[in-house]
Structure 1
Amino acid sequence: MPRIEPPAEFSSPPAEHVLPAGTRLWRVHGADMPAVQFDPPHHLAFGGRRFDGVGASGHPVLYASENLATAVCERVLPEVDFTPLAPRMLPTGMLTGEVLTAVETTVDLPLLRLVSSVDLAKIGQDDWLVRDKDFSLTREWGAWLHDRLRTLCGIVWQSSPDMPHPTLVLFGDRCAGVLREVPESRRPLDAPRAPNWLADILAERGVDTRSRASGKRKVFLNYRTGDGDLAALMLHAELADRFGEESVFRAADSIPLGTDYRQELEDGVRGSKVLLAIIGRNWETSCDAAGNQLLADPEDWVRKEILLAWDSNVKVIPVLVGARPRMKPDALPVELGKLAFTTGLHLPSGPGEIHVRALVEDLLNRLPDLR
């Protein structure tokens, strides 16, 4: 039940689970951070995980699982869906800079238990809360549960990617100093080819971990500042999470300091498999101070990138954003006219992470070579 307000009072006491001192937990985290360091609150509407602390007043969190395989599955499987046109594969670069490490609890930790339908009913919810992939909504409930249940140190629920094993989140503002890293437990996840133990875990769950290194970047994001920024940012986040930062080009993040941006943009287009042209409400009508259409300017980079992609045999796919009509050829410079007849994709106005994830899934289903 995603869009209902939390109840004013619990109908019965919420279910609790005590995590004993000495419990070993496994977590996936960045190699540059200590295993016992909590993740900061989440500040964006998209990305993140199920029960992140939210906003400036949010709390840090740490996700972990008692089962090693569950910790891996919680990180990997939500991003590698089964499709009818392509095998389930581990995207290249997905685990770059990440490690798996064991930590142990040093004290007993009381947790909110949401493992069964009975547990969920006690807080006025059903399995939506622990299954849904739109984390912007589940985070709202997580923040409410954190604030209401002040004696509890986290939440435990049944892992959706690795049923029936449990997984959990700890609240950093209530768990200071309660974890220690298990010596020599750290395992790197970003080897060019998955380690045998990782390959075995994922193969049992239908994921192919063969190395898929490619000389070409996967996606170039073409957009106009002020017309497609948010859509470009959200697509970048989703694509980079699946394939790694090196597989996605977005000018705001992908051009190194001290380089010729013109050459970087041209190389970025030529070196990609697909260019996504993000087309907002004012894409065709945007003008300079003199009232001249920007797309008609031969030096306009939105225009230049699309024309260069066509010249370089890079597939161009329009992404229409919001409630806008399809493009009309007579509203475009003649050089861009065929874009009006090019099949593309659509994002609703003010897209959420679930919309962006669905668009990327649609893109990969229709262009399986991108996987």
Structure 2
Amino acid sequence: MILAGKRITVGVTGGIAAFKAAELVSTLVKLGAEVHVAMTSSALEFITPLTFEVLTANRVETNLFEKSPEGAVLHIDLAQKADLLVIVPATANIIGKAANGIADDMVSTLILAARCPVLFCPAMNVVMYHNPVVQSNMKRLKELGYPFVEPGEGRLACGTSGKGRLADLDSIIYTMQKLVTPQDLAGLDVLVTAGPTREPLDPVRYLSNRSSGKMGYALAKAAALRGARVTLISGPTALVSPPGVEIIQVQTAEQMFQEVIKRAEKTQIIIKAAAVADYRPLDAKEQKIKKQGQEMNIEFTQNRDILAELGRQKGAHQLLVGFAAETNDLVQNAIGKLKRKNVDLLVANDVTQPGAGFDYDTNIVRIFDQNGELTSLPRLDKQQVAWEILNIVVKMFNPLRGN
């Protein structure tokens, strides 16, 4: 969604990681971006232009002095029409040229002609990467405002091990998304809760719910992309931690309560997307419960209500967002919860609807504020739902910034 419709120019240089540029280009096209590729003469030794032409359905540019069919100067056209220029792999050579203002091929000339952000994705031998000259060149580019995706560590193509591998695709895509995303949450601390909690019966068994955590993780990722400092407090899930997010893992409702409350006062926006257990067994056994008959009675006690406590503590500088998973009387239950717990915004869904319940990658939500229903969203990917929720959050929070 973020990169859809964006015009992205990919500069491919002469390193063994050039083949990974093909995977990046393929992914960008799948995400809806308009992708153009430029290659250095050294890159042609590792991968052919035909590969990128098939992937992008656009001509690959390699000749600095060639004109476009429309007569435009190619390096100017490619650079100035781009929303983002990404150099992958960024070799020691291209980094050195850029740092010293050298423009003697298509890619190095694009870098100097670009008005858009230029993202460097270094990949090279570990000794080359740590060479003081290369480090000095990278430092200079960073000081000039050029963003980098740090390389990974591991076994390199040359047979050595260390730092120098091209960063993983997810990290590159995330950084690209952030560079084209308005930073309307910059400078703000956002706390998101996600996933279920587990309330132990004994060392073997626990009570939980069907929450996957996908909605909360989508919100955390979206907030980080929009510039926020994000803390994600998560119950047990099978999800990968979103990039750019501090994650705190918890198990029980009480653990989540403690982690949330001790951070709440210094947080401007709190989004309570977790499905927290309302009750826990009064007496969790220290040993495994053995089968003793046909029936077993369990006595429960109520967990502390995190959302209600946040509503009681909420200051003038804070915005509190709650969630309600309902199976009936959605509007009545949602508005009641919003009023009762002093929530600024409440996101409700009917989990009996196809595409809106647990484990789905999509959701169908209705959003309420203190005046009633604010908006109703159709069935959307949860990342899109997160984006729409944050659009409302930003609009509501802006008047609070002065407080």
User: What TM-score bracket applies, with the shorter chain setting the length?
Assistant: 0.3 to 0.5
Which structure has more RCO (C-alpha within 8 Å, separation ≥ 6)? 1
State the structure with more CA Rg: 2
